[in-house]
């Protein structure tokens, strides 16, 4: 069974609109491209046809992915301002051990990605370590290069 994804209302609406667009206009457009390419003749050496079929495959993969996310998601209410502990949907500023520079990361689904922050999944080692942490806490997690530690310097919604 797919894992339940927590999404903000904005992300859910954006994904639902993309799904609708791909399953309507997107499928019509790709069918036209394939039909036009077929009219060019021999399909075995027809680059336009193969490109359109590849595009169709990628689009259908995205449609299946979006459908799965939308069917297995719950909308979480995010309140503005500061919060006490890291939870899904929060933006956390962390400093890796040995670094001086802080990084801002959203703890949540990659579908919540924004330009101003990175995203860390709550199910990842770093995400799991951050959940429940408060400002000033240092948490450790297992990374491919060994155990790493990060300090939480700020939490916001």
**Any idea where the domains of the chain sit in the sequence?**
5-75, 91-156
pTM above 0.85, yes or no: no
Q: Virtual CA dihedral for 28, 29, 31, 36, nearest 10 degrees?
A: 140
For the chain, residues with pLDDT lower than 70 are 1-2, 78-82
For domain 5-75, give the CATH number.
Answer: 1.10.287.180
What letter does residue 141 receive in the DSSP assignment? E
Q: Which CATH class is domain 91-156?
A: alpha beta
In the sheet with 118-120, reading across from the earlier edge strand, the strands are 118-120, 103-107, 91-96, 146-156, 138-143
Whose CA is closest to 90, among 103, 74, 79, 75?
Answer: 79
Instruction: Give CA–CA dist 114/124, Å, rounded.
Output: 19
């Amino acid at each position: 069974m797919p894992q339940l994804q927590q999404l903000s209302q904005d992300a859910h609406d954006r994904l639902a609109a993309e799904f609708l667009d791909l399953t309507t206009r997107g499928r019509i457009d790709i069918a036209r491209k394939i039909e036009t390419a077929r009219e060019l003749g021999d399909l075995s050496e027809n680059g336009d046809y193969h490109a359109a079929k590849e595009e169709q495959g990628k689009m259908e993969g995205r449609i299946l992915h979006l459908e799965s996310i939308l069917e297995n998601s719950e909308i979480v209410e995010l309140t503005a301002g500061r919060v006490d502990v890291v939870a899904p949907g929060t933006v956390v500023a962390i400093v890796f051990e040995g670094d001086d520079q802080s990084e801002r990361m959203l703890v949540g689904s990659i579908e919540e990605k924004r330009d101003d922050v990175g995203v860390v999944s709550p199910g990842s080692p770093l995400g799991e370590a951050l959940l429940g942490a408060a400002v000033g806490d240092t948490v450790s997690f297992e990374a491919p290069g060994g155990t790493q530690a990060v300090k939480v310097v700020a939490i916001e919604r």
